[in-house]
Structure 1
């Protein structure tokens, strides 16, 4: 069994919070190591999934092959904000009160070297729908295919079971979406909202056609663990995709944003990304994150 953080493959929780941290201006190797050790005590890979950003690896004088900051997509026809961060935590709970305590403990543990950049409160909607009403993750790989898509294998101790995660926070314009007929909305996605069935006559801009994972060369499979979010009068989708590198995410996003062939994904008709970041999720060892590959 690969020593991965189990929350990556488990079903979506009822409640979640996605925390991103930047390094404090005065942070150094000593304070960062101390904070990581304090955080590791709280990270079981199930209730809390931990990932490290490029800036943190650089501060520690370490390098993981393929890890770099998200920097947008060259030639994109739509804005793709890049918001790099040093640390990412996915807090997963079945009850909202426990989630509040989990967040507080993590922020306190990180305080020696990290400052909170963003906290996105998310939740499971219906059986796993986006707030637009469409099901998400329909094409997710399953069983052994999910392991192959999301988890590094054959690279040795401290790397096997790791994962690369791409994160974007998307803001929906519900007024724009609801101004469209049901058929027009279905055309944006390429599936019928009523039964989630894909249909061939959807336009080339339909989301399912833009992101068909087997249509890329090489194929671009990711394991999506996205969740809806809301805050006051704003709401949207927190996109999270695990893979064995950032290739698959970038290949899909390049096609979605029109950089590949000039056709922009229908999703951009009613929603837009507000952030974008990349992280490396370490494997597990004896119930805690395995940080041996970064010298800890």
Structure 2
């Protein structure tokens, strides 16, 4: 069976109009493994992988004395001038829908299913923002996001793992980036375009963009091996704070970490210009289990 037939369908589906990112933590004191497994079993029967995409963190696998090949916490690529938080968590759920109200109802239902083993630590509202010349959603800065995403079979190859127990699963890196719009607004049109490496007006890549431009730092075909991922990012707003929830699905975490390593200047000393007006405030990695007979396949976790 093809990996795509086993995958949570929301991974490869187009972006929804609205999203909600849920971060769950284990209750205190830490519940027994049997209680955790019972909660996960209830969750497995309530999500379809489309309206709700589920990711399991390395700490949760460890709590269950389980091993998921390839699952690990993200590497810390901080530098003295550029501290980057690594904020791992045991359970991440991306809710997808057409309106915010139903997402609250799904949140409440999932919260009840996971109690008392898990508690909801954070919920971040997200949404699709406009449409760029290539049909992709816009970041709140007005730049089109996801232009370089692979499609069709290439997307499946980039996003989905293969092999016994992993077929159809995916590894996701999640970062919530917060924009400094005061810094962004102070830039000229040319400075903004050179930060991204594209013209905001028509999304065309700039031939004369500096080496620090984001599109040059993250050109997926320029890595060895190539570092293709499937991005499913969405803007978020909370009061006057806002930015992008960067979501990157891969058949492993290697491609995402290779890109972040280059963005932070570890490869050649050149830092991505994106950091001049935006920084990640959270960073975590998760394993998105496959489906089996219409429900999450959590056998690797002993569920």
TM-score, length of structure 2 as denominator length: 0.95
Q: Secondary structure at the match of 2:270?
A: coil
Offset, 1:117: 2.3
Offset, 1:75: 4.8
Residue 89 of structure 1 corresponds to 93
Give 1:138's match in structure 2, choosing from 115, 133, 147.
147
- Whether contact under 8 Å (2:23, 2:120) holds in the other structure is yes
Give 1:4's match in structure 2, choosing from 2, 7, 11.
7
Structure 1 runs of 4+ with >6 Å offset: none
Offset, 1:30: 1.1
- Whether contact under 8 Å (1:226, 1:240) holds in the other structure is yes
Counterpart CA distance in 1 for 2:272 and 2:122 is 27
Give 1:14's match in structure 2, choosing from 17, 20, 23.
17
| Residue 272 of structure 2 is aligned to residue 269 of structure 1 | no
Q: Compare 246-255 and 22-31 and name the one that shifted more.
A: 22-31
Counterpart CA distance in 2 for 1:237 and 1:76 is 24
Counterpart CA distance in 2 for 1:56 and 1:115 is 13
Q: How many residues align?
A: 294
Residue 46 of structure 1 corresponds to 50
- Whether contact under 8 Å (1:17, 1:99) holds in the other structure is yes
Residue 129 of structure 1 corresponds to 138
Q: Secondary structure at the match of 1:275?
A: strand
- Whether contact under 8 Å (1:74, 1:259) holds in the other structure is no
- Whether contact under 8 Å (2:74, 2:257) holds in the other structure is no
Give 2:84's match in structure 1, choosing from 80, 86, 94.
80
Counterpart CA distance in 1 for 2:292 and 2:152 is 22
Q: Secondary structure at the match of 2:262?
A: helix
Q: Structure 1: any 5+ residue segments left out of the alignment?
A: none
Q: Compare 38-47 and 103-112 and name the one that shifted more.
A: 103-112
Q: Secondary structure at the match of 2:105?
A: helix
TM-score, length of structure 1 as denominator length: 0.97
Offset, 1:25: 2.4
Residue 134 of structure 2 corresponds to none
- Whether contact under 8 Å (2:161, 2:170) holds in the other structure is yes
Counterpart CA distance in 2 for 1:76 and 1:261 is 16
Q: Secondary structure at the match of 1:97?
A: helix
Give 2:28's match in structure 1, choosing from 5, 22, 25.
25
| Residue 65 of structure 2 is aligned to residue 61 of structure 1 | yes
Offset, 1:210: 0.1
Give 2:226's match in structure 1, choosing from 219, 229, 243.
219
Q: Compare 18-27 and 269-278 and name the one that shifted more.
A: 18-27
Give the superposed CA RMSD: 1.1
